[in-house]
Amino acid sequence: MEYVKGRPFFCFNKTLIKSYPYLKKDIECDVLIIGGGIDGAIANFYLAQNHDVVLVDKGRFGYLCTSCATALLEYQLDAFANDLSTEMTNNDLTDVYNMGLYAINKIESFIKKYGNKCYFNKRPTLIFTNSILDENKIEQEYNFRKQNGFNSKIITPNNNPFSFELKKGLYCEDGEAELDPYLFTKQLIENAKNQKRIYENTEITKLVNTKDGVIAISHYSQQIKCKKVVLATGFNWELINKHNLCERTITYSIVTKPIKNFSWYNNTLLQDLNSPYHYLRLLPDNRIIIGGEDTKFNEKGIKEKVALKKYDKLYDYLLELFPSLQNKAEIDYSFCGSFGSTTNNLGLMEETENKNILYFISCGANGIINAMYAVEILDGILNNRKNKLENLFSPKRIL
């Protein structure tokens, strides 16, 4: 089913990832990763360091959800800690926030080693509201962070350094970041150890369980015999499961043309608490990417008419926030994609009902961070090592 529509900015305006061949013969490996979006690229890069790994994608790498991501890299989850307290203990929540910080540092270490070719930058974040009803939520989140050692500060109209009005905001100076998700995917794939084991245009249409593993069969009938399969297919989990694994939402984005002499305080990553909400950031060539206006995803897929209205709404919101952009900001790209949510906001990244098939499906608005950490859960499973957070990511909590 189609879950991306429009012209995702990140893959449309870039040099392409070098192309890889399609699979022409039967092969064997220890681990087969199906799907070469950012999740599959992360799994491939890290697992190929110690295992015999093959990566396949049915199309081109990084073209679907990956290129839709606004790529705000944040350590908090979609919901505030207080809203998640029925799902996770205080210890779980602090572990998960620390996991986010750890994952961002891990990306930074990768960049230090392989060069910053994906515009990775550390940035502050601001989550803000203009509604009296939501002020309390921001206070509670501030208190949670303070009590558990995470830095943040409250912004009010009296100390607001931004040009737009807000009633209350939570500003976090350190620890969060941004990058270009397509270029990061490209870097991960092109620096992976298993260059001769990477295939594009190779769709897996069937998985057959065997006594000691799985045989994956491609659209053109080639067979890949492996011990474990990692399913990094985004929302195409139908290969093994016909059930809906998470609640799905469509989120809409527009990207402006570059705007001369325009920026905001510290190039902060911005998010409001409106319903529907909005999130935005500045891109390296001074474009603005703004997303949100989410709607429910249903089996009928993404409707063009609805999407066009949502792009207009995002543009109106941008002008409301920054009236000086009137006659200056022009929409260059518009696109939308679907993402999944689970009740604890974390992905499905562990064994399925079948021990030889591992899900690697990131969920929520900071899926990239989830994946960066959860590849260590996969590595643990392959090496019989338990990971402290694996139960929080386990599909068993849903199935």
| 35 belongs to the binding site for ligand FAD (CB under 6 A) | yes
Q: Residue 291 — φ and ψ, nearest 5°?
A: -135, 175
Considering the complex, what minimum distance in angstroms separates the CB of residue 8 from ligand FAD? 8
| Torsion from C-alpha of 204, 210, 214, 218, nearest 10 degrees | -20
Question: Which amino acid is it at 151?
Answer: N
Which of 23, 68, 172, 358 touches ligand FAD (CB under 6 A)? 68
The 3-state DSSP class for residue 82 equals helix
Pairing of strands 269-272, 278-282: antiparallel
Contact 164, 325 (CB under 8 A): no
Give the residue with the Cβ less far from ligand FAD, 282 or 368: 368
Which of 77, 232, 290, 349 touches ligand FAD (CB under 6 A)? 232
Give the residue with the Cβ less far from ligand FAD, 352 or 366: 366
| 53 belongs to the binding site for ligand FAD (CB under 6 A) | no
Contact 227, 28 (CB under 8 A): no
Contact 311, 254 (CB under 8 A): yes
Contact 352, 345 (CB under 8 A): no
Length of the chain: 399
| Residues 258-287, mask of contacts with ligand FAD (x by CB under 6 A) | ------------------------------
Contact 230, 360 (CB under 8 A): yes
Give the residue with the Cβ less far from ligand FAD, 52 or 203: 203
Which of 6, 169, 291, 395 touches ligand FAD (CB under 6 A)? 291
Considering the complex, what minimum distance in angstroms separates the CB of residue 100 from ligand FAD? 10
Which residues have a Cβ under 8 Å from the Cβ of 30 and sit 6 or more positions away?
Answer: 51, 52, 53, 226, 227, 228, 382
Nearest-CA neighbor of 307 among 346, 251, 363?
251
Q: Residue 7 — φ and ψ, nearest 5°?
A: -115, 90
Within 242-385, residue ranges assigned H as helices are 304-321, 367-382
| 306 belongs to the binding site for ligand FAD (CB under 6 A) | no
Piece in contact with ligand FAD (CB under 6 A), picked from 50-58, 150-158, 163-171, 260-268 = 50-58
Tokens standing for residue 116: 């910053």
Give the residue with the Cβ less far from ligand FAD, 302 or 381: 302
Contact 363, 340 (CB under 8 A): yes
Which of 239, 240, 325, 331 touches ligand FAD (CB under 6 A)? 239
- Binding to ligand FAD (CB under 6 A) within 342-371 occurs at 362, 365-369
| 33 belongs to the binding site for ligand FAD (CB under 6 A) | no
Nearest-CA neighbor of 70 among 266, 325, 335, 258?
335
Which of 11, 23, 65, 270 touches ligand FAD (CB under 6 A)? 65
Give the residue with the Cβ less far from ligand FAD, 37 or 175: 37
Considering the complex, what minimum distance in angstroms separates the CB of residue 323 from ligand FAD? 25
Which of 56, 192, 374, 389 touches ligand FAD (CB under 6 A)? 56
Query: Cis ω on the peptide bond leading into residue 276 (within 30° of 0)?
Result: yes
Piece in contact with ligand FAD (CB under 6 A), picked from 44-52, 61-69, 76-84, 168-176 = 61-69
Considering the complex, what minimum distance in angstroms separates the CB of residue 143 from ligand FAD? 25
The 3-state DSSP class for residue 31 equals strand
Give the residue with the Cβ less far from ligand FAD, 160 or 214: 214
| 36 belongs to the binding site for ligand FAD (CB under 6 A) | yes
Using CA atoms, how far apart are residues 334 and 200, in angstroms rounded to an integer?
A: 26
Contact 199, 205 (CB under 8 A): no
Which of 11, 34, 280, 321 touches ligand FAD (CB under 6 A)? 34
| 182 belongs to the binding site for ligand FAD (CB under 6 A) | no
Considering the complex, what minimum distance in angstroms separates the CB of residue 222 from ligand FAD? 12
| 71 belongs to the binding site for ligand FAD (CB under 6 A) | yes
Using CA atoms, how far apart are residues 285 and 276, in angstroms rounded to an integer?
A: 28
Footprint of ligand FAD (CB under 6 A):
34-40, 56-59, 63-66, 68-72, 203-204, 232-234, 236, 239, 251, 253, 291, 337, 339, 362, 365-369
